[in-house]
Structures are given as C-alpha cells and as structure tokens.
Amino acid sequence: MRLDGSNFKNFTKRCKKPFDERITYSLLNTGKDLLAETNACTAFVQSDEISLIFKGVDPFYGVQTKYGGRISKLASTTASFAAARFNYYLNLYNWEDKNIHMTQGFGNFDCRLFNVPSNKELIDVVMWRHQYECRRNTIAMMALSEYGKKSIHEVSTITLLDRLIGTYGSFENLLQRFHPIHFYGAFIKKEQFKIQGYNPKTNEEFDDVIRTRVAHRCFDLTPEFPNAEDFLTKKYWDETDLTNLQPPSEYERPNISTFESRSRRRANHYE
C-alpha cells in the first residue's frame, strides 16, 4: 500500500528549502501511526510518500483481511486516517512564517494497493523507492535550492550530484547538509522492550515486563544485506539483524524551539 501526498508541490511551496523539518517530522510520525493502526509489517517513509508492507494472506487458513479485502474501502479509510494524523502533527508547529495554511487541514493523500508474487519482487519494489526515488528527490531538492529551477531543467541526477559535490568539496561534506532520513528514507517497525512492572493492588514489582512501541531506523538497505528479502516481512525490529541501529533522536519528537501548544496558539489568535 502506498500513500502519496496530494499536490504537495503547491501545498509546501512556501516551506523551508530544501527540507522543512516540520514536514519531515509530520510525515515520519504519520507513518508510525499508520503502522500502529494497521497490521503492516513495515512502513517506509521518503519524500512525500509512505509505503506500507503487509504479509501475504494464505487462503488455506482462512485469514481475513480488514474490510474483507475490499480495495476501495482499504484505500479510502487509510488515506483519510493518514490525512487526519498528518494535519494533527502539522498543528504541533508554529507556522507564522507565512504558512498559516499548513494548520488548516489541507494536507491529504491518495492511496493505491497492489500485490507482488514473492519476497524477491517485494524487495525490488522497495529498493526502487529507497535506492533510487528517495535519493533522486533529495538531490533534486538540494540542487534546486542551490542553483535555481532554470539551472537544473532537464539535467540528469548524476550531473546534479557531481555539481553539488563540486560545490561542497566532497560527497561527505554534501551528506552533512541533510539528515540521513532525507537520503535513505526511514524504515518503521514495531519493537519489543523490557521495563520494570508494578502492581498497585499488591505493591509488587515485576522484572522484564515486555512492552511494544513503534520505532524507525535510517540506513542503506542493499540487496546484499543479510536476509534482506525477509527483513521487510518481519513484524519486529527484534526479529531482524538490525537491532543495533539507533533512531536519530532529533526526529523522535517535535523540536521544542518551534513547538507551540494548541491552547497557546488559540490564545494568541484572540490577543
């Protein structure tokens, strides 16, 4: 299942360039909410799109999908849920920089569903979004910000990348200009963790109580990666070979310097 921001080119026209952390944060957390709301194994977020990956249904066991597998129902409800959550997260930020329309609920998504015959085909689809589309979009946004629209018209991605490397001196210097989520996208899964439990009725404490949360990782997934084909259909990070990868902390929660509570904004509106 893939959700794309509808007319986001115009919707984000006056946002910070080349990347606006408020949009990045909102899309990332919308992807997390979608994973938590659905029975998807993995979500992948890049640019203005969110991909949800589901395990295949074996008809032999009579497993039923949500809404009986009705495509129109699945697409419409998922797109509306994504729009609601995305606009909620946008409203956590201060948009007084001539972008007040970002708080008025105009962010929306289209949604499409398709299936693939095997895990090999699945990883090919994801690789196309992760290895090609994500980086092409990032390089194009960087080049547009640096050189302007006329300068990059009909120029290949490779040429734009070479030009950017020349401007910044090296590829490593260029990478420091943006967060890994922009270059690699973000893979989202559930993970299990242990906490110390407490029973208020008996005043007893329990060790190793297992809880579940949704977490993301930014990394370069290649076909040579160990168990790459199985990685996408695993439900938990704990089941993969990537448990040592830590999520970037700056995208775990809103930037406090730009965060303003809804009640405070409402009060300011009437001052």
pLDDT given at position 258: 32
Chain-centre distance of CA 68, in angstroms?
A: 27
Which residues fall within 8 angstroms of residue 14, CB to CB, at 6 or more apart? 97, 98, 99
pLDDT given at position 270: 30
Q: Is the pLDDT of residue 263 over 70?
A: no
For the stretch 200-255, pLDDT in tens is 888 888 878 888 999 999 988 876 776 777 889 899 998 887 655 554 443 333 33
CATH-assigned architecture of domain 1-116+178-270: 2-Layer Sandwich (3.30)
Structure tokens at 83: 């729009």
In total, the chain counts a number of residues equal to 271
For the stretch 16-54, pLDDT in tens is 888 999 999 999 999 999 999 998 999 999 999 999 999
Bridge partner list, 193: 211
Distance between CA atoms of residues 11 and 106, nearest Å? 8
Q: In this structure, which amino acid lies at residue 85? A: R
Q: Is the pLDDT of residue 78 over 70?
A: yes
Flag the least confident range among 57-61, 115-119, 218-222.
57-61
Mean pLDDT of 184-189: 94
Helix, strand counts (H, E) of the chain: 11, 6
DSSP labels, 138-202: HHHHHHHHHH-HHHHTT--HHHHHHHHHHHHSSHHHHHTTS-HHHHH-EEEEEEEEEEEEEETTT
The half-sphere exposure of 208 on its side-chain side, counting CA atoms within 13 A, is 0
Distance between CA atoms of residues 11 and 48, nearest Å? 11
The closest of 64, 60, 44 to 52, measured between CA atoms, is: 44
Q: What is the DSSP letter of 3?
A: E
SS3 call for 53: strand
Bridge partner list, 125: none
Q: Is the pLDDT of residue 83 over 80?
A: yes
Q: Is the pLDDT of residue 152 over 70?
A: yes
Asked if residue 8 lies in contact with residue 83, where contact means CB atoms within 8 angstroms, the answer is no
Distances from the Cα of 24 to the Cα of 36, 177, 198, angstroms: 19, 15, 37
pLDDT given at position 244: 53
Mean residue pLDDT of the chain comes to: 83
In the chain, domain spans: 1-116+178-270
Flag the least confident range among 3-12, 100-109, 148-157, 247-256.
247-256
Q: In this structure, which amino acid lies at residue 232? A: L
> Which pTM was predicted?
0.84
pLDDT given at position 62: 58
